[in-house]
Amino acid sequence: MTTTRKSKAEKPIEELQQAISGLGEMWKAAAGTQLPQISPTALAELQADYLKQATALWNESLQGGASEGERKPLGDRRFADPAWQANPASAFLARLYLLNAKTMQQMAEKVEGDEKTRSRIRFAVQQWSDAVSPSNYLALNPEAQALALGSQGESLAKGLQQLWGDVQRGHLSQTDESAFEVGRNVASSEGSIVFENDFFQLIEYKPLTKEIFERPLLMIPPCINKFYILDLQPENSLIRYAVEQGHRVFVVSWRNPDQGCVHWTWDDYIEQAAIKAISVVQEIGGTKTIDTLGFCVGGTILSTALAVLAARGEQPAASVTLLTTLVDFSSNGVLDLFIDEALVQMREMTIGAQAAQGPGLLQGRELATTFSFLRPNDLVWNYVVGNYLKGEAPPPFDLLYWNGDATNLPGPMYCWYLRHTYLQNDLKIPGRLTVCGEKIDLTKIEAPLYIYGSREDHIVPWDAAYRSTQVFKGKKRFVLGASGHIAGVINPPAKKKRSYWTGKTAALPAEAQGWMDTAVEHAGSWWPDWADWLAGHAGKKKAAPKAPGGRGYKAIEPAPGRYVKQKA
């Protein structure tokens, strides 16, 4: 038997073929499925393309890499530092990683199956590829290594200190948390707590105009976050902006649930919080109707509460503003990946009303981590590299401070919400749900609506927000803002940033794209458009009150109150 020695040129080809095989194994682990789900033809094309590109990379590396004048940018901000290009080994590693990641995603696209399965595989592959980036590891990151050498190890020492600090805090720091204090430089608009129960405190804000509209405005923020996303700083506070427009503004500040709240249900949040807040604002304002606003889950809660009241023959809303809100949960972007019958049942058995060990809490940290990993490079690995490998303290940023101020949720309430909205999409169907003893029907809400979506929102996709226009029957206006779930909403006019779109006509087609095809873009913030619309529903002007509360409601403590300061 004769043995033939492999040539120098054949050896890298063999190693590349082994790499392809290894890539397949990593695919199986990430996708939780078997390669035969991809057609042999598609797989062969992917393998051939991968081999061609990887061979070119290998040959370039054998020649010492491209010359300085021929080097092409890596096209990924994780590898933007010149240190990645200056080191041929690092440049090769980064390019090979990007090729592997791209190929894995292409494999995910070729899987034969239903769309939800493909989406889950794409998500799993993206999580894997983001996690294994060479930029995330000190031994493979030339930029971090250069910093360590240049600082004589000081950057590593600082990184270890920051890592230990985050271990003690129990979460990855995204901002300098010591720079902020609730009530001092965030949530600092002047006001008073005028009502409280176990579920919420009601804040009334001090008027900034001599006259106010006769109808007060009640804002219901999401219960999965603290209310002060609407009041970060004076210059970007939607609350302050509404007060400056002459509205008497009330805001729900949710309690951060603890072990004493594990039995709370969705009905409790509707009856004891949203409906109670509406009635208190009616009493204090001395008006039969009020203007209302709900943000995200707060909008879903507000819509449910108004439907319950409509079933009771009450129409307390003179207007309804829904910001990035879901009521039709037909398709909801990346969040749909997490929701199926098995997951909901698991939650019901562990923290729901019928859990064997009794109901529990969905911990705020779990929610925060889930949302961060929807954008892992921006909200996770970016900070791992900066905080720990480079020893760079994150700068102060009010929005990220708020983002890290987590909120718990009672298990029974959370499980009901998962099952009847994301899983079964019951809320939009008239008479399907019984809430607070009433068969609810969103079409019975008679108030006019201002419905807002953010074009780049990954939590409430704008077309999902648009679907609300097809559910409610009142007179509706839909406005689309640029940017994402938070940055699109918190866009004050003074900044003169971004843009927004309004319909060319009052028509609201069944499909979102049909509306977008004729929409008109406007520079700047959507807030003035909303303010003009709201003024048309707020009634006449009258003298501003000289003191908060009234009609039996007295100031309990200064805003922002105790509840918002409770930590998860």
Peptide bond into 560 cis (omega under 30): yes
**Statement to judge: residues 81 and 200 lie in one domain:** no
Q: Which of 261, 296, 415, 436 is catalytic?
A: 296
**Banded model confidence at residue 492, pLDDT cuts 50, 70, 90:** very high
How confident is the model at residue 448, as a pLDDT? 98
How confident is the model at residue 431, as a pLDDT? 97
DSSP 549: -
Q: Is there a contact between 228 and 564 (Cβ–Cβ < 8 Å)?
A: yes
**Statement to judge: residues 218 and 80 lie in one domain:** no
Q: Give the integer Cα–Cα distance in Å for 293 and 278.
A: 11
Residue 44 CB partners (closer than 8 Å, separation 6+): none
| Residue that is last in its domain, among 85, 120, 150 | 150
**Statement to judge: residues 317 and 250 lie in one domain:** yes
Q: Domain for residue 443, yes or no?
A: yes
Q: Domain for residue 329, yes or no?
A: yes
Q: Give the integer Cα–Cα distance in Å for 121 and 139.
A: 29
**Statement to judge: residues 121 and 210 lie in one domain:** no
Q: In what helix (H) or strand (E) does residue 342 lie, and over which residues does it extend?
A: helix 341-350
Q: Give the integer Cα–Cα distance in Å for 264 and 276.
A: 15
**Banded model confidence at residue 22, pLDDT cuts 50, 70, 90:** very low
Q: CA distances (Å), 231 to each of 396, 482, 485, in order? A: 16, 20, 16
The number of folded domains in the chain is 2
Angle at 383 (CA atoms; ends 377, 384), nearest 5 degrees: 95
Residue 86 neighbours by CB distance under 10 Å: 15
Q: Domain for residue 199, yes or no?
A: yes
| Termini Cα distance of the chain | 72
Q: Give the integer Cα–Cα distance in Å for 198 and 4.
A: 81
Q: Give the integer Cα–Cα distance in Å for 486 and 494.
A: 17
Q: Is there a contact between 318 and 538 (Cβ–Cβ < 8 Å)?
A: yes
Residue 24 reports pLDDT greater than 50: no
Closest CA to 115 of 325, 324, 327, 330: 330
Local structure of 170: helix, strand or coil: coil
How confident is the model at residue 10, as a pLDDT? 43
Q: Give the integer Cα–Cα distance in Å for 362 and 365.
A: 9
**Statement to judge: residues 123 and 270 lie in one domain:** no
Residue 429 CB partners (closer than 8 Å, separation 6+): none
Closest CA to 513 of 467, 449, 460, 448: 467
Local structure of 28: helix, strand or coil: helix
DSSP 4: P
How confident is the model at residue 26, as a pLDDT? 44
Which residue segment(s) compose the domain that 281 sits in? Answer: 191-346+426-565
Token pair 């309990």: residue:
556
Local structure of 501: helix, strand or coil: strand
Residue 18 reports pLDDT greater than 60: no
What is the average pLDDT value for the chain, to the nearest integer?
A: 90
| Residue that is last in its domain, among 96, 128, 150 | 150
How confident is the model at residue 64, as a pLDDT? 61
**Statement to judge: residues 144 and 254 lie in one domain:** no
Residue 259 reports pLDDT greater than 90: yes
Poorest-pLDDT segment among 46-60, 69-83, 84-98, 334-348: 69-83
Q: Domain for residue 396, yes or no?
A: no
**Statement to judge: residues 134 and 246 lie in one domain:** no
For residues 315-339, one letter each, b for 16 or more C-beta atoms within 10 angstroms of the residue's C-beta and e for the rest, the string is ebbbbbbbbbbbbbbeebbbbbbeb
Q: Domain for residue 414, yes or no?
A: no
Token representation of residue 67? 């010359």
**Statement to judge: residues 319 and 447 lie in one domain:** yes
Tell me the sheet residues that pair with 269: none
Alpha carbon 224 to its chain centroid, in Å, reads 11
Burial of 267 (0-12, 13-18, 19+ CB in 10 A): middle
**Statement to judge: residues 200 and 284 lie in one domain:** yes
How confident is the model at residue 438, as a pLDDT? 98
| Residue that is last in its domain, among 91, 120, 150 | 150
**Statement to judge: residues 315 and 432 lie in one domain:** yes
Residue 505 reports pLDDT greater than 70: yes
CATH of residue 237's domain is: 3.40.50.1820
Local structure of 320: helix, strand or coil: strand
User: Mind listing the pLDDT tens digit for each residue in 109-124?
Assistant: 888 877 778 888 888 8
Closest CA to 239 of 280, 197, 286, 295: 295
What count of residues does the chain have? Answer: 568
Give the pLDDT mean for 127-155: 95
How confident is the model at residue 162, as a pLDDT? 93
Q: Domain for residue 83, yes or no?
A: yes
Residue 198 neighbours by CB distance under 10 Å: 13
Residue 463 reports pLDDT greater than 90: yes
Give the pLDDT mean for 338-355: 92
**Statement to judge: residues 138 and 212 lie in one domain:** no
Query: Following CA atoms 482, 484, 489, 491 in sequence, which dihedral angle do they give, to the nearest 10 degrees?
Result: -60
Q: Give the integer Cα–Cα distance in Å for 193 and 201.
A: 6
Residue 486 CB partners (closer than 8 Å, separation 6+): 229, 399
Angle at 116 (CA atoms; ends 115, 120), nearest 5 degrees: 115
Q: Is there a contact between 484 and 465 (Cβ–Cβ < 8 Å)?
A: no
Residue 52 reports pLDDT greater than 50: yes
**Statement to judge: residues 126 and 271 lie in one domain:** no
Higher-confidence residue: 110 or 3? 110
Token pair 């999401």: residue:
222
Poorest-pLDDT segment among 5-19, 128-142, 291-305: 5-19
Give the pLDDT mean for 405-410: 94
Token representation of residue 498? 């971004």
Token pair 């894997």: residue:
128
Tell me the sheet residues that pair with 320: 292, 449
Q: Domain for residue 186, yes or no?
A: no
Residue 24 neighbours by CB distance under 10 Å: 17
Longest dimension (CA), the chain: 104
Local structure of 254: helix, strand or coil: strand
Q: Give the integer Cα–Cα distance in Å for 154 and 162.
A: 12
Q: Give the integer Cα–Cα distance in Å for 382 and 136.
A: 8
Give the pLDDT mean for 386-411: 93
How confident is the model at residue 513, as a pLDDT? 96
How confident is the model at residue 338, as a pLDDT? 81
Please report the sign of the dihedral spanned by the C-alpha atoms of residue 234, residue 527, residue 226, residue 474. positive
Residue 38 reports pLDDT greater than 50: yes
- The answer to whether 436 is a known catalytic residue is no
Token representation of residue 177? 């948390």
How confident is the model at residue 296, as a pLDDT? 97
Q: Domain for residue 398, yes or no?
A: no
Share above pLDDT 90 across residues of the chain, in percent, rounded to a whole number: 73
Q: CA distances (Å), 274 to each of 229, 314, 344, 481, 485, in order? A: 19, 14, 25, 27, 23
